[in-house]
Amino acid sequence: MEQNFTKGLRDGIPICLGYLSVSFTFGLLGVGMGLSWWQATLISLTNVTSAGQFAGLTLMMEGGALIEMVIAQFFINLRYLLMSISLTQKVDERFRGISRWILAMGVTDEIFAVAMSQEKPVSKRYFTGLFLTPYLGWGIGTLAGALLGEIVPDGVAEIFGIAIYGMFLAIIIPKARDSHPVLEVVLIAAILSCVIYYVPFIHLSSGLSITLCAVVAAAYGAWRHPLPAEPEEDDAGTVPSADNDMQAVNITKEVHHA
């Protein structure tokens, strides 16, 4: 099976469609929270990440400190570090140098998953195609949402604030349903976050509170429910994607409770 630019473009289409709706919501929301259409679109074109952008938007509009932005983005997007490391094991020997610096922009959950599922090593032409279609979808979706958001009256926009959290819940809840360890992590982080917010004598900015809660909850998860060791690298294409990791979490759970 040839693995070239056109195949990459084609494989990127399903990702592109998924991205249209998420980025549309981001554009709508960004404008609802006070950005102009080009500001929302520029965030999408330079970041290409869902949770990080929504968190960044919130911090931006709440006037959070720049260091909070650094910390929040670092922890929210820390998973890309892992994916990029995995991807170095998957690309062919000609995929190096400047093309790695450029195409690193394309490391998202979905593009990573598709790239890792290829039977052959991933070439830079294929990865370029695989990045391009979703990237266009991400940009165009944001622009469309932002332009629609510009004509929505202000009083209505406030209600859209809940959309971000609806999206977050749509990411968290299905995983927590499948994986008991993830459920524990989510509950610990949520409860700790509420305690920090509502107990009067604790004063933490939102960025630091989020970081603290997430690190405590994830450290607890790693300590109590470590994932099983990764399989050997004999057969290409079996490196765990996010979904496989979740299955691994389930297996761990069964072992723990057995």
Partner 1 sequence: MLSLSIYFKYLAVMALVTYLLRALPFVLVKKKITNVYIRSFLEYIPYGVLAAMTFPAVFTSAGGVIPSLAGMTVALILAYRRKGLLTVAIGAVALAAIVTLIL
Name which of residues 164 to 203 contact partner 1 (CB under 8 A).
164-177, 181-182, 185-194, 197-198
Element (H, E) at 91: none
Can you say how many angstroms the Cα of residue 128 is from the centroid of all Cα atoms in its chain? 20
Among 5, 7, 47, 113, binds partner 1 (CB under 8 A): 47
Q: Is 116 in the site for partner 1 (CB under 8 A)?
A: no
Q: Residue 122 pairs with which residues in a beta bridge? A: 91
d(CA 66, CA 50): 19
Out of 227, 238, 244, 250, which residue is the one contacting partner 1 (CB under 8 A)?
Answer: 227
Residues 94/124, Cβ–Cβ less than 8 Å = yes
- Alpha carbon separation from 30 to 14, 41, 124, 172, 178 (Å, rounded): 25, 9, 33, 22, 31
Is 89 among the residues that bind partner 1 (CB under 8 A)? yes
Please give the residues from 130 up to 149 whose contact with partner 1 meets the rule CB under 8 A.
Answer: none
Does 247 bind partner 1 (CB under 8 A)? Our answer is no
21 sits near partner 1 (criterion: CB under 8 A): yes
Closer residue to partner 1 (CB): 147 or 212? 212
Distance CA 176, CA 185 (A): 9
DSSP string spanning 11-53?
Answer: HHHHHHHHHHHHHHHHHHHHHHTT--HHHHHHHHHHH--HHHH
* Least gap, CB of 10 to partner 1 (angstroms): 22
Provide the β-strand partners of residue 91: 122
Residue 208 host element (H or E): helix 206-224
Q: Binding residue for partner 1 (CB under 8 A) from 7, 69, 180, 244? A: 69
Which of 144, 160, 204, 244 forms a contact with partner 1 (CB under 8 A)? 160
Q: How far is the CB of 167 from partner 1 (least distance, A)?
A: 5
Applying CB under 8 A, among 3, 41, 53, 142 the residue interacting with partner 1 is: 53
SS3 content of the chain, % helix, strand, coil (to 5): 75, 0, 25
13, 17, 152, 156: which one binds partner 1 (CB under 8 A)? 156
Quote the CA–CA distance of 37 and 39 in Å, as a whole number. 6
Contact range with partner 1 by CB under 8 A, out of 8-16, 114-122, 128-136, 216-224: 216-224
7 touches partner 1 by CB under 8 A = no
Tell me whether residue 6 or residue 86 sits nearer to partner 1 (CB atom): 86
83 or 146, CB closer to partner 1? 83
Residue number, 13 or 173, with CB nearest to partner 1: 173
